[in-house]
Amino acid sequence: MSATESAGVEVFSDLTDLPAWYVPLITGLQSASPEELVRFRAPDEEKVRHSAVLVLFADGRDIGESGPDVLLIERAADMRSHAGQPAFPGGAADPGDNGPISTALREAQEETGLDPAGVTPVAALPQMWLPPSGFVVTPVLGWWRETSEIAAADPAEVADVHRVAIADLVNPANRVKVSHPSGYVGSGFEVSGMLVWGFTGLLLDRLLDMAGWSLPWEEGARVVPFDDGWRASQDS
């Protein structure tokens, strides 16, 4: 698989092979600076824990949407870390994985049951360090050109799976800021009965902006405390 690289974004697909709605995202990423993509740079250490997530977009038509959607999971409520939180499918690299694409596809299949044969890897973003977990994460962007049935394939790790319309994510009524007791305040989304925040919310926010999909919204008008927002999403 040949690739081109710009601003730390490694692109694997020819833009002419992608749907027209996907192209602005890739061109936006290629013109971005690394600082616009990465909040925390990976430490220069050999013993960091590597992981990858799959940011998977489909055209939405098979679920009745008029525009693209993105795949999210809800972590199981009794997990030791990130319990109950929405996230991209993904996880830690295994010794048998052949790089971040392999990790992202394997984890997505294990968590949602999707068929990796229907996924075209499009790009890999720069590695991002998540201090709370100690993982270095590589987001892998994919095009779900042939969608397949999905479900919570491993109930011990995944409570539910969702295909969330981009139109719902960019709807100003669904945009919030989320405050955490640690002092962190970041972008969030109230969609599909979930409060999407943290790394997932931050990355979605930046991808929507770079693709030119975002709509104007009054940042800071709604600030949701994490505890209250999380409980509301669980009870909805």
pLDDT band at 134; cut points 50, 70, 90? confident
pLDDT at 183 over 90: no
Residue bearing tokens 């770079």:
210
Spatial neighbors of 98 by CB under 8 A, at least 6 apart, are none
Q: Which fold has domain 4-235?
A: Nucleoside Triphosphate Pyrophosphohydrolase (3.90.79)
* pLDDT tens-digit readout, 80-127: 555 568 999 999 999 999 999 999 999 999 999 999 999 999 999 988
Closest CA to 233 of 185, 178, 187, 183: 178
- Joined tokens for residue 218: 């009054």
* pLDDT tens-digit readout, 149-172: 999 998 888 999 999 999 999 999
* Whole-number percent of the chain with pLDDT over 90: 64
pLDDT at 180: 81
- Joined tokens for residue 225: 């405390």
pLDDT at 65: 96
pLDDT at 129: 82
pLDDT at 61 over 70: yes
Q: Across the chain, what does the average pLDDT equal? A: 87
pLDDT at 224: 87
Rounded distance between C-alpha atoms, residue 58 and residue 143, angstroms:
6
* Whole-number percent of the chain with pLDDT over 70: 84
pLDDT at 85: 87
Element (H, E) at 135: strand 135-144
Spatial neighbors of 60 by CB under 8 A, at least 6 apart, are 66, 67, 68, 69, 163, 165, 166
pLDDT band at 35; cut points 50, 70, 90? confident
Give the pairing of strands 49-58 and 90-92.
Answer: antiparallel
pLDDT at 81: 53
Radius of gyration (C-alpha) of the chain in whole angstroms: 17
